[in-house]
Amino acid sequence: SFEKELNGDIKVFSNDGQLVYSTTINGVTHQMDVSGLASGNYYFAVFEKNKKMSSGQFVISR
C-alpha cells in the first residue's frame, strides 16, 4: 500500500524484462491476481502521470 492515493498504472515484468501484467490503479491499495503467472522472479513499477512512483520485486513459488 502507499501513503497517498494513487491514480495511475502498475506494470509487472518477468525476469527477462517481458511485460506480463498491466492495469490501472485507483486508491491506496491494489490486489493482483497472480494465479496466471508461472513460478519465478518478477519486478513491478507503479506509474502516476508517466512518472515512476515506486518499484520492487516479488517471487512466485508454486
- Total residue count of the chain as it appears in this document: 62
Give the CA angle between residues 13, 17, 21 to the nearest 5°: 25
pLDDT of residue 12: 96
Residue 10 has pLDDT above 90, yes or no: yes
pLDDT of residue 3: 61
Residue 55 has pLDDT above 90, yes or no: yes
- Tens digit of each residue's pLDDT (9 = 90 or more) over 15-54: 999 999 999 988 777 788 889 999 999 999 999 988 998 8
Residue entry with cell 520492487: 56
Give one DSSP letter per residue of 1-62, joined into a string. Answer: --SS-EEEEEEEEETTS-EEEEEEEEES------TTSPSEEEEEEEEETTEEEEEEEEEE--
pLDDT (average), residues 3-13: 84
